[in-house]
Amino acid sequence: MHALGKRIGAQCVAGDLILLNGPLGAGKTVLVQGIGDALGIGDVTSPTFVISRIHKAPLPLIHVDAYRLLEGGKAALYLDDLDLDSPREGAVTVIEWGGAESARLSEERLEIVIDRTEEIREVTITPVGTRWQVLKL
């Protein structure tokens, strides 16, 4: 997952939105750590309890964990409260547990679903919009 994240991160530009979904322990945060490494950020940890963390770098990384927002059933409202629109333009934004309420943030996004059994990890990557059609893995 880390290596996949590095390959994706190497192709990121300002304004990119990446949505990650999968069960607990699937490797979402490890994938974000790989993206961070590609951006020159080595201290990416899960923002589960703080919800959102901005990692400063020439191309900053906004890392959101929406898991706790989903608990209240008002994820879209709480996501709006994070006010991601302004800083997102100059950064790469990755949202773990990024469902439909996160997808509305951009018509150009990369949706990644990680499915994991005990022995197999299957990753489905869906480019939405023209921006990600050139993704090379």
pLDDT in tens, 69-94: 555 555 554 555 555 555 668 899 99
Assess contact for 25 and 118: CB atoms under 8 A.
no
pLDDT at 23: 92
| Cβ 81 vs Cβ 98: under 8 Å | no
Question: pTM above 0.85?
Answer: yes
Reported as half-sphere exposure (CB side, CA atoms, 13 A), residue 94 has a value of 31
Q: Who's near 88: CB < 8 A, 6+ residues apart?
A: 15, 17, 62, 105
pLDDT at 66 over 80: no
Compute the distance between CA of residue 31 and CA of residue 135 in angstroms, rounded to an integer: 16
List, in order of start, the domains of the chain with CATH numbers: 2-134 (3.40.50.300)
Q: What pLDDT does 88 receive?
A: 66
Measured between alpha carbons, how far is 20 from 8 in angstroms, rounded to an integer?
A: 13
Summarize the confidence of residues 55-67 as an average pLDDT. Answer: 88
pLDDT at 75: 52
